[in-house]
Amino acid sequence: MNVFHIVGARPNFIKVAPVMNALKTRKHVVQTLIHTGQHYDANMSDVFFEQLGIPAPNVNLAVGSGSPAWQTAEIMTRLEPVLLDGKPDVALVYGDVNSTVAAALVGAKLGVRVGHVEAGLRSFDRTMPEEINRLVTDQLADMLFTPSEDGDINLQKEGIPAERIRVGNVMIDSLVRLLPAAQRQNRNRLPERYALVTLHRPANVDDGEILKRILQSLLEVSQDLSVIFPAHPRTRKRIADFGLQADQLQILDPLSYLEFLGMQSRATVVITDSGGIQEETTYLGVPCLTLRENTERPVTVSLGTNVLVGRDPEKLCSELSRVLAGNAKKGTIPPLWDGHAGERIAALLAG
Ligand code: UD1
């Protein structure tokens, strides 16, 4: 059985690792890993491969950055001959990034069976590029591996007839495996209490006024608590382009998987607009204040530690006060977020 995995961006790497690991034990499976090159900086890509123990990609399409349409089209053009040549029995795509939808389109048009890992998530906000990627990918996929019940319900409502299978959360598989190693990282260099911040959504960072207001709110947070802010390259570039002042915030380069996970696990609070971090904090039981009006991961709010504060500085401050007073929202771990989702996918694919 010939399985192709197509990945391209940072969160994809964390998701592919457990699936590849689980399939490795099936002797009749040959795996090919294709990196689209959507993320190419060493600290956005290479370090994740090393720490997660992912083999070097068999093919790198080296697409690089560009507008969404250009990037998607370029990945499609470069991937098509690779799939034609390799004739996979199944192509697995991960998450909701441009590489995901591009690969699903190419696979579906070539008649290759497409499996979507992390299917069914919906923010119901079509201004998010990821929401468009999710909708299209799920329409095209033959096998839909969902992380939570809301994913099954969304797919059913959309009338998607393909196989829907709840397998749990592959991102949590990587977390469970590497948390002990992560907790041995940079133990002595961290303040006792701190807020860990990430920010990269176009809706938050591509508009100068909005980004300025968020940075001001973070400055206010820093009056009460040290702020550690590993910035995505997109965010750093926008801060510079808009000439914004952020000197009082500790802005760092993107961190490796182990460093970031270690910092998350010890944070007093995490402030973010990432999807995956809402899930990781829920698993870790760390309070998470999400700078978005909606989430495609509602289970992190209904069961977990996540609170949506949108872009309202007052809500951020009041929720932060709750955390600092020791009254943070308590959560539980959603069903099937148990470290074995990759194993369940492998069993469904290859017995
Ligand atoms: C992408 C995903 C997003 C995911 C995020 C994780 C889409 C639509 N979005 O957003 O869902 O949460 O990855 O990081 O696919 N850049 C670099 N070096 C890199 C990669 C990017 O400098 O290695 C810069 C470039 O200036 C680029 C910008 O970041 O133009 C945006 O990169 P892109 O991959 O288009 O989207 P992300 O914002 O990273």
In the predicted structure, residue 60 carries a pLDDT above the cut 80: yes
Is ligand 1 within 6 A of the CB of residue 35?
Answer: no
Q: What is the mean pLDDT of residues 303-327?
A: 95
Best residue for ligand 1 mutational test, from 39, 76, 100 (most atoms within 8 Å of Cβ):
39
Which pairing describes strands 226-230 and 288-290: parallel, antiparallel, or unpaired? unpaired
DSSP string, 75-131: HHHHHHHHHHHH--SEEEEETTSHHHHHHHHHHHHTT-EEEEET-S---S-TTSHHH
Classify 32 as helix, strand or coil: strand
And the tokens for 256? 């490796």
Q: What is the mean pLDDT of residues 70-91?
A: 98
Is ligand 1 within 6 A of the CB of residue 39?
Answer: yes
The atom number, within ligand 1, closest to the CA of 96 reads: 11
- CA atoms of 278 and 300, how far apart (whole Å): 6
In the predicted structure, residue 200 carries a pLDDT above the cut 90: yes
Ligand 1, atom 9, lies closest to the CA of 97
pLDDT digits (tens, 9 = 90+) for 282-305: 999 999 999 999 999 999 999 999
User: Which residues are CB-contacts of 146 (< 8 A; sequence separation ≥ 6)?
Assistant: 118, 119, 120, 152, 155, 164, 165, 166, 167
Ligand 1, atom 13, lies closest to the CA of 9
Is ligand 1 within 6 A of the CB of residue 72?
Answer: no
Is ligand 1 within 6 A of the CB of residue 41?
Answer: yes
Is ligand 1 within 6 A of the CB of residue 228?
Answer: no
User: Which residues are CB-contacts of 253 (< 8 A; sequence separation ≥ 6)?
Assistant: 43, 230, 231
Q: What pLDDT shows up at residue 301? A: 98
Report the separation in Å between the CA atom of 318 and the middle of ligand 1, taken as the mean of its atom positions: 31
CA neighbours closer than 13 Å in the CB half-sphere of residue 84? 8
User: Looking at the annotation, which residues are catalytic?
Assistant: 200
pLDDT digits (tens, 9 = 90+) for 209-238: 999 999 999 999 999 899 999 999 999 999
Best residue for ligand 1 mutational test, from 71, 200, 204, 279 (most atoms within 8 Å of Cβ):
200
Q: What pLDDT shows up at residue 161? A: 79
DSSP 57: P
Ligand 1, atom 11, lies closest to the CA of 97
Q: What is the mean pLDDT of residues 315-327?
A: 95
Q: What pLDDT shows up at residue 163? A: 83
Best residue for ligand 1 mutational test, from 97, 257, 278, 291 (most atoms within 8 Å of Cβ):
97
pLDDT above 90: percentage of residues in the chain = 94
Given a contact cutoff of 8 angstroms between Cβ atoms, the answer to whether 10 and 44 are in contact is yes
Is ligand 1 within 6 A of the CB of residue 11?
Answer: yes
Is ligand 1 within 6 A of the CB of residue 329?
Answer: no
Report the separation in Å between the CA atom of 39 and the middle of ligand 1, taken as the mean of its atom positions: 6
Q: What pLDDT shows up at residue 40? A: 98
Ligand 1, atom 29, lies closest to the CA of 234
Report the separation in Å between the CA atom of 234 and the middle of ligand 1, taken as the mean of its atom positions: 7
- Confidence label for 73 from pLDDT (cuts 50, 70 and 90): very high
Q: What pLDDT shows up at residue 218? A: 96
Is ligand 1 within 6 A of the CB of residue 297?
Answer: no
User: Which residues are CB-contacts of 295 (< 8 A; sequence separation ≥ 6)?
Assistant: 123, 275, 278, 301, 306, 308
- Confidence label for 187 from pLDDT (cuts 50, 70 and 90): confident
Q: What share of the chain is helix, strand, coil (3-state, %, to 5)?
A: 45, 15, 40
Is ligand 1 within 6 A of the CB of residue 208?
Answer: no
In the predicted structure, residue 168 carries a pLDDT above the cut 80: yes
Tell which phi-psi region holds residue 36, choosing left (phi > 0), alpha (psi between -120 and 50) or beta: alpha
Report the separation in Å between the CA atom of 188 and the middle of ligand 1, taken as the mean of its atom positions: 31
Is ligand 1 within 6 A of the CB of residue 253?
Answer: no
pTM value surpassing 0.85: yes
pLDDT, the chain, mean: 96
